[in-house]
Amino acid sequence: MKILITRKIETEVMEIIPESFDVVMWEQENSVMPRDLLLKEAADADAIFTNVTDRIDEELFSCAKNLKVVSTMGVGFDNIDIKAATKRNIPVGHTPDVLSEAVAELALTLMFACARRVVESMNFIKADEWKSWGPYLFAGQKISGAKLGIIGMGRIGKELAKMARGLNMDVSYFNRNRVLDTEETLQVQYKDLETLLKDSDYVVMLAPATKETYHMLKYEQFALMKPTSIFVNASRGTTIDENDLYKILKEKKIFAAGLDVFEKEPINQSHPLLTLDNVIAVPHIGSANVETRDKMVEITLRNILNGLSGEQLLYTVNPEVFVKN
């Protein structure tokens, strides 16, 4: 059995792969496996261990005649053509649950960093501009007791709501469907999107990447927010119009933005949003703590090993393939 792993991964968790398996691993940890090499190695692969940056599409499935299972190291799977996999009875795995707490922590980190102007303040010192104390030097926004609006009350949204309640924040949410049990247990309130944007001091985007959520926040929606409010995106870059966010921030119509994700990744230093002092950007590190990443690797591998054995995956995006079989 051949397993293709599209990034270099060095962790003891990899030892769960049986020695009899042929493991082909891309040699780089922080760069994308070249497309031509991906297609070449996929041609005789039985399983693919992928990630958000690989395009696992109809072209790849067509040439991968031996492919039995695909699993991505992440909760999102918008880089994989699920229809193409399903029509070939290939199960697709992912890693929900395990990363919810870590991503919620990063969203909260970005909220704090934007609110208290942490990066601006550090750069101020690095530029040797700190000459004296000032009564409003880098004065920011309050978090404790403020109003938080969460767009997307899934696993990560619920974790963030728990953390925010610990800060005595007034939490509301917008979701495709109301989550009544969560409203009661976490003491959160449902609001329509327009009301949430108008009322919130902090707006955190946690909706998944779908056709329905594509650019769901544009200039018109951002303009509803308070001039003192802060926007955070820890889901997918396609959920907002980045050009419109840039305009809103440039015009000072909101206070700041913290961004972990972008529509096209990776971005480079010429990206317009990076020219703004009221933007904090990080390179898609939502789940990046060692414990969480090790667990994600383990789940991805166990999804693959189960798939190669004809068993149900731990987490399957397209469980209907098992009904077919």
Percentage of the chain lying above the pLDDT 70 cut:
99
Is there a contact between 203 and 152 (Cβ–Cβ < 8 Å)? no
In SS3 terms, the chain reads as CEEEECCCCCCHHHHHCCCCCEEEECCCCCCCCCHHHHHHHHCCCCEEEECCCCCECHHHHHHCCCCCEEEECCCCCCCECHHHHHHCCCCEECCCCCCHHHHHHHHHHHHHHHHCCHHHHHHHHHCCCCCCCCCCCCCCCCCCCCEEEEECCCHHHHHHHHHHHHCCCEEEEECCCCCHHHHHHHCCEECCHHHHHHHCCEEEECCCCCCCCCCCECHHHHCCCCCCCEEEECCCHHHECHHHHHHHHHCCCCCEEEECCCCCCCCCCCCHHHHCCCEEECCCCCCCCHHHHHHHHHHHHHHHHHHHCCCCCCCECCCHHHHHC
Is there a contact between 140 and 116 (Cβ–Cβ < 8 Å)? yes
Q: Using a cut of 0.75, tell me whether the model's pTM lies above it.
A: yes
Evaluate whether the domain defined by 100-281 bears CATH number 3.30.565.10.
no
Q: Which residues are the active-site residues?
A: 236, 265, 284
Residues forming CATH 3.40.50.720 domain(s) in the chain: 2-97+290-324, 100-281
pLDDT class of 174 with cuts at 50, 70, 90:
very high
Class of domain 2-97+290-324: alpha beta
Residue 12's identity, in one-letter code, is E
Number of H-type helices and E-type strands within the chain: 12, 12
Is there a contact between 219 and 243 (Cβ–Cβ < 8 Å)? no
- Overall average pLDDT of the 53-65 stretch: 97
pLDDT tens for each residue of 299-313: 999 999 999 999 999
pLDDT class of 324 with cuts at 50, 70, 90:
low
Percentage of the chain lying above the pLDDT 90 cut:
99
Could you tell me which residues are beta bridge partners of residue 202?
A: 148, 230
Residue 237's identity, in one-letter code, is G
Could you tell me which residues are beta bridge partners of residue 48?
A: 4, 70
163's CB contacts (< 8 A; 6+ apart) are 104, 105, 108
pLDDT tens for each residue of 257-269: 999 999 999 999 9
Residue 296's identity, in one-letter code, is M
The pLDDT value recorded for residue 113 is: 98
- With a cut of 80, say whether residue 325 has pLDDT above it: no
- State how far the Cα of 255 lies from the Cα of 227, in Å rounded to an integer: 6
The conformational region for residue 196 under phi > 0 = left, psi -120 to 50 = alpha, else beta, is alpha
The pLDDT value recorded for residue 323 is: 83
